[in-house]
C-alpha cells in the first residue's frame, strides 16, 4: 500500500514539475518515467534496509530533489 502511494506521489510530482516544459511532450513523459524509476529504486533500497515508516517523508523529498535536478538540467539544455 505504501509502495503504491509512493509511486503515485512521485508520478504526480513529475507532472506538476514538468508543466513548464509542456511544449515538448516527449520530454514531459521522459521526466515522469525517470522519476518513477528512480523512486522505485530508492524505495526498494530503503525497504530492504528496514527503515521505519517515519522515514518515508525523507524518501519523498529525495525523489522531489532528484526530479528538480532533472527538470532544471533539461531547462538549461533547452535554453542553449
- Indicate the DSSP class of residue 23: T
Q: Where are the domains of the chain?
A: 2-16+24-74
Q: Could you tell me if 35 and 67 are in contact, meaning their C-beta atoms sit under 8 angstroms apart?
A: yes
Under DSSP, is residue 50 helix (H, G, I), strand (E, B) or coil?
A: coil
Q: What is the pLDDT of residues 10-69, one digit of tens each?
A: 666 666 555 555 556 666 667 667 766 776 676 666 666 655 555 566 666 666 666 666
Q: From CA 59, how far away is CA 55, in angstroms rounded?
A: 7
pLDDT the model gives residue 37? 72
Query: Which helix (H) or strand (E) is 33 found in, with range?
Result: helix 25-48
Angstrom distances, CA of residue 48 to CA of 8, 54, 61, 62, 72: 20, 15, 19, 17, 31
Q: What is the pLDDT of residue 38?
A: 72
Amino acid at each position: 500500500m505504501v509502495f503504491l502511494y509512493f509511486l503515485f506521489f512521485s508520478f504526480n510530482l513529475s507532472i506538476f514539475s514538468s508543466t513548464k516544459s509542456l511544449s515538448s511532450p516527449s520530454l514531459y513523459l521522459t521526466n515522469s518515467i525517470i522519476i518513477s524509476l528512480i523512486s522505485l529504486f530508492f524505495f526498494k533500497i530503503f525497504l530492504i534496509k528496514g527503515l521505519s515508516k517515519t522515514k518515508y517523508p525523507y524518501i519523498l523529498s529525495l525523489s522531489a530533489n532528484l526530479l528538480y535536478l532533472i527538470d532544471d538540467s533539461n531547462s538549461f539544455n533547452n535554453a542553449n
